[in-house]
Chains A and B, each alone.
Chain A
Amino acid sequence: MTASSNLRTVGTPQLRKEGVDKVLGRAKYIDDLEREGIWYGATVRSTIPRGRILAIHYDARVDWSEFVIVSAGDIPGKNHIQMISADQPCLADGQVNHCDEAIVLIAHPDKRRLPEALAAIYIDYEPLRAVLSIEESETQEEIIWGPHTSEGNIFKQFHLEKGNVDSVWAEAAYIVEGEYRTGAQEHLYIENNGAIAEYDEVTGITVWGSLQCPFYVHKSLMAVFDLPAEKVRVIQVETGGAFGGKEDYPSILAAHAGLLAMKARRPIKIVYDRMEDLAATTKRHPSRTRHRTAIDKNGKLLAMEIDIATDGGAYATLSSTVLSRATLHSTGPYVCPNIRITSRAWATNTVPCGAFRGFGAPQSIFAIERHMEQVALAVGLDSDEIRRRNFLHDGDTTATEQVMVEPVILDTLLDRALEVSDFHARQSEFARLNPLSPVKRGIGLAAFYHGSGFTGSGERYLNSLAGIDVTTDNKVRVLVSSTEFGQGTNTILTQIAAEALGIGYEDVIMAPCDTGIVPNSGPTVASRTSMVVGKLIERAGRQLVTGLRQDAGLLDNYSTQDFFTSCLRYRELHGKVESLCRYEAPPNIYWDDQHYRGEAYPAFAWAVYVAEVAVDTTTYSAEVTNFHTVQEVGRVLNPTLAAGQIEGGVAQGIGYALYEKVLYNNGHMLNNQMTNYIMPTAQDVPSISVHFEEIPFAHGAFGAKGIGELPHDGPAPAILNAIQNAINQSFTSIPLLPEDIFIRVTSDAHEQEQITV
């Protein structure tokens, strides 16, 4: 299915806007920038997971007069970095709640003097009992966050009921229960976090940074420095990967650099090294999901009871919204008349967990898609058939009673996935060959959706503003705070503008991502940039063309030259050529925050992924040998970039499933080096096939829906389903390392060994 179109720019593989600068090594990332008279900052961090700070000692062997030192007392405004709750201090004051929490900042003109100075600052603590897991937090024996009541330690909870779950257990032909766990995951953007700050009495504070959300940083700085909006300026520079990892943390780092800059009266640069970045910045929320499912004799879902717990770390940051997305994706793309979901985000004394591609969905989709595999086995149906019998279709309702008004083509996606992967033939072939080889092969699939844009009323609250203007040298500029960090924001937004304006891709550029220049088009998160911000740019473009027709004599079938000529005329009339649009919710979208009911997302991207694996019974290692993706993401704006998003997301998902394990010791990350935190290399990623079905979504830019997060949702369950197919072992926890497979497959053998030896 290909969307018919007469589009010129949208849908074509336009070359990445900033591509030339990147391949020339000319693109300037934060560590490539210097400023006159700059000093370098570093951070003293807690070494215990929880405790009171009794004293801070500065070793007299260091000449501290050479340094600028900042602690909580130096903060002119509020000592908190607020994402959702005002609970996270900018600098710990009196108490620390996780390892590697920032306590003191120092700066010096010679960055090579900083490590020895950091080592010469000693902190006395009175340790407090730390809570280091979901299970410890759940006991509420030690309340580390919130009131000392049954609400203690809970950042957020949701309860959702559809139908009457309790009524159906007795009539169920099958009841399947399972518990599924996912671990923390590090973003491992190859560029570490960094920022440069400058402070001036008159103009206020300016921060350049590697970041996703300039206006989040802007808001944080206003609070920390007690400055009005116009005295805070945040500029995103080229950003070397983010994946959600530069959504909330840069607000802290920017404030740190700013505090040092204010005290030092000079520009300050702080760039973390890999060890610091790994130890101190956010991770994906670990999770535990329990399913209890009632199924009738035909394999149709009768009831789903789902309980989700996530580990939020020490402060609330984004845990409530991550939990919300986890909750709203926990039923999978299935229709079920009776659903109960309970979910809670728990506080622990670990580094706060934050946004990471998928934002809760990979956790709950792992659970449901592993669980459906067990349901299939219980009922005696194939992996594809159990799903097909329960897929959502047009007109069905989700757990939140959202009616599927847009076309849902899961059956088509499944058929295509089975076809491109030759699923059943491969399954038979593996079953035939496996007994003959120590390497057991298997194939598995996962079906899922990912809601595009902010959850529920999120977009209404954001109330984004975006647009375009035309410069005097005849360039159209896209005015957004949406950031480029590899996913292709610059390219697709300029494509959309060019299309809407009927001019060439090369005539459109991005305005600098500077809060002093661009409007707040919202954060670059939640797979919202193509669909939501793109739509604003499309509307702004059409609005400008209408204005040019009305006021400046633009005729039909205009050339690029005609366009700019009429812009000149328009400028003479209006002083500038600018067109801004504000978010308007699609009609018939209603979300009830209080009852957690209604249209959770304006649109969904849908997918079926297939993984082939090889499990070596000599080494107990599993690897992915082939991967197929079939998805419906609305209009594909740029096929090269879109496929790149899918392939990259799948690779990250493979890492999540089989390689990437964050090891903690008393709340401190033990393997905070690239040599010990293992991501897939060029030799570990299999061939990945990418297939798109396109059903344009009327309320997304030229039909686009979200795409960026989707590919991280499916790989882990597809891979573990394939492993189950290969060795007939059901694993329920990721990352699944060879050591875990070893324990499972040898447990019987070991028992026998011990008897005979």
Chain B
Amino acid sequence: MSSRQFAIQFTVNGQSARVEAPPLKRLLDVLREDLGLTGTKEGCGEGECGSCSVRMNGALVNSCLVPILQVEGSVVETVEGLTVDGELHPLQQAFIECGGAQCGICTPGMLVAASHLLSHTPYPTVDEIREGLAGNLCRCTGFIKIFESVISAAAKKGSQAHAR
């Protein structure tokens, strides 16, 4: 395998992606530069801020710390994949309604981390939300409206499930 260009195939938001990139290129850069998925943001480049959060094979990861070689054959989900049939995800709706997004730069990563949390903890307590989102720094909201957004989305998802 060449170190300069490396052909890699993986799935992003349900669609197959094939790129050629240096194997150490960050997943973050591949998403943004090679695939045009600029919803995933870079805030620190060192896994501290969570702006680049995506899910990889069901795990929450900082895409700035994942070399693309390790993504071969993986399933990656980004903020662009959160909508369902063109409809806003309950979390997206709740972030708008509850004021969970201010400047919006942390929002994509925050939403991905929150959706990861709800995927294994459908009705999280505030403490569970605090822990689940602790790796996603927001400088605008003081986090309070983000917690409210997650709680609201969880409640709505629950009531939808009941309705069915």
Contact = CB atoms under 8 A, between A and B. Distances in A.
B99 A640 contact: yes
A436 interface: no
A487 B104 CA distance: 11
B35 interface: no
B145 A191 contact: no
A282 B110 CA distance: 27
Nearest to A15: B96
Interface stretch (A382-390, A411-419, A646-654): A646-654
Nearest to A25: B39
B38 A25 contact: yes
A673 interface: yes
B79 interface: yes
Contacts of A649: 142
Interface in A1-35: 13, 15-16, 18-29, 31-32
Contacts of A32: 32, 38
Interface string B39-79: 11111111011010000000000000000000000000011
Interface stretch (A141-149, A519-527, A676-684): A676-684
B99 A16 contact: yes
Given A190-B103, A486-B104, A674-B46, A648 B78 contact: no
Nearest to A278: B44
Contact of B130 (A23, A488, A682): A682
Given A15-B96, A682-B129, A688-B142, A674 B44 contact: yes
B99 A190 contact: no
A595 to B, nearest CB: 40
B48 A674 contact: yes
A22 B140 contact: no
Given A274-B43, A674-B44, A683 B131 contact: yes
A13 B97 CA distance: 8
A682 B98 contact: no
A485 interface: yes
B143 interface: yes
Interface in B91-107: 91-93, 95-99, 101-107
Contacts of B108: 25
A301 interface: no
Given A190-B105, A682-B129, A648 B49 contact: no
Nearest to B107: A22
A29 B105 contact: yes
B45 A241 contact: no
B146 interface: yes
A18 B88 contact: no
A192 B43 CA distance: 7
Given A23-B107, A652-B139, A685-B143, A274 B45 contact: yes
A623 to B, nearest CB: 13
Nearest to A239: B103
A647 B105 contact: no
A679 B44 contact: no
A240 interface: yes
A245 to B, nearest CB: 10
Contact of A23 (B42, B44, B111, B135): B111
B8 interface: no
B139 A644 contact: no
Contacts of A688: 142, 144
A645 to B, nearest CB: 9
B40 A19 contact: no
A361 interface: no
Contacts of B34: none
Contact of A15 (B91, B97, B135, B147): B97
Give the bracket for the number of chain B residues in contact with chain A: 35 or more
Give the bracket for the number of chain A residues in contact with chain B: 35 or more
A487 B139 CA distance: 11
B106 A190 contact: yes
B137 A674 contact: yes
B151 interface: no
B138 interface: yes
Interface string A648-677: 111110000000000000000000011100
Contacts of A239: 103
A597 B112 CA distance: 53
Given A644-B99, A679-B139, A27 B104 contact: yes
B27 interface: no
A24 B96 CA distance: 11
B144 A685 contact: yes
A226 to B, nearest CB: 34
A487 B91 CA distance: 21
Nearest to A649: B142
Nearest to B79: A25
B137 A16 contact: no
Interface centre among A15, A190, A274, A488 (most CB of B within 10 A): A190
Contacts of A13: 99
Nearest to B98: A640
B104 to A, nearest CB: 3
A685 B142 contact: yes
Interface in A181-239: 187-192, 238-239
Contacts of B78: 25
Contacts of B92: 23-24
B80 interface: yes
Contact of B48 (A20, A22, A651, A675): A675
B46 A673 contact: yes
Contacts of B37: 25
B104 A673 contact: no
A562 interface: no
Nearest to B96: A19
Given A23-B107, A25-B79, A191-B103, A644 B141 contact: yes
Contacts of B103: 189-191, 239-242, 485-486
A651 B38 contact: no
A651 B111 CA distance: 20
A240 B41 contact: yes
Interface string A674-702: 11000101110101100000000000000
B138 A190 contact: yes
A20 B88 contact: yes
B121 interface: no
B116 to A, nearest CB: 14
Nearest to A274: B44
Nearest to B29: A112
B142 A190 contact: no
Contacts of A685: 142-144
Interface in A455-510: 485-488
Interface string A236-257: 0011111100000000000000
A609 to B, nearest CB: 13
B134 interface: yes
Given A22-B104, A640-B99, A683-B134, A648 B139 contact: yes
B101 A22 contact: yes
Interface string A551-571: 000000000000000000000
Contacts of B141: 644, 647-648, 651
B115 to A, nearest CB: 12
Q: Which 5 A-B pairs have the closest CB atoms?
A: A25-B39, A240-B105, A486-B103, A651-B142, A22-B104
Interface of B: 32, 37-46, 48-49, 51, 78-80, 83, 88, 91-93, 95-99, 101-108, 111, 129-131, 133-147
Interface of A: 13, 15-16, 18-29, 31-32, 187-192, 238-243, 273-274, 485-488, 640-641, 643-644, 647-652, 673-675, 679, 681-683, 685, 687-688
Given A23-B107, A190-B41, 10 more contacts: A23-B79, A23-B91, A24-B79, A188-B137, A190-B139, A192-B43, A241-B140, A644-B142, A682-B136, A682-B146
28 contacts: A13-B99, A19-B95, A22-B104, A23-B93, A23-B111, A24-B80, A24-B92, A25-B80, A32-B32, A187-B139, A189-B103, A189-B105, A190-B43, A191-B105, A240-B41, A242-B103, A485-B103, A643-B145, A644-B102, A647-B142, A647-B144, A648-B142, A651-B143, A652-B139, A673-B46, A674-B137, A682-B131, A685-B144
